[in-house]
Amino acid sequence: MTLMLTDPVSDYLTRLRNAITAQHAEVEVPASRLKREMTRILAEQGYIDGYSVEPTPVGDVIRIQLKYTDGRRSVVIGLRRISRPGRRRYVSHDEIPRVMGGMGTAILSTSVGVMTGHEAKQRGVGGEVVAYVW
């Protein structure tokens, strides 16, 4: 039986969410360019401890080291998919949403690459709102 994913980004966020709920130290997700960039942003923003991209016989896999506070509470409180295959969500640079009043991060896929909402606003570019992280 082969599993066909219609939304790899939702799968990525769900795997992260499930690993955090189960308090795993790390989680593996199938790699793609978008997922690599999203993981890079999570690392830069301090939501995860680190990551590595490792080759497997089937394709690359991203191994993400999850980050917890001293009280074993996850640094990531929530992950939410915004633009879905059935309902894409695009914004211009002056409509980029603030997540949790600026405490969270919006991940955008723009014409000049994947970046945070803050960075997109600075560069004056809009794009597809992929997900929120807080």
Measured distance CA(13)–CA(44) in Å, rounded: 17
Tens-binned pLDDT, residue by residue, of the chain (134 aa): 666 668 999 999 999 999 999 999 999 999 999 999 999 999 999 999 999 999 999 999 999 999 999 999 999 999 999 999 999 999 999 999 999 999 999 999 999 999 999 999 999 999 999 999 99
Q: What's the whole-model pTM score?
A: 0.93
Sorted by sequence, the CB contacts under 8 Å of residue 128 that are 6+ apart come out as 83, 88, 89, 90, 108, 109, 110
Which pLDDT does position 3 carry in this prediction? 65
- What structural domains and CATH numbers belong to the chain? 8-133 (3.30.1490.10)
Amino acid 6: pLDDT: 85
User: d(Cα 129, Cα 116) in Å, to the nearest integer?
Assistant: 9
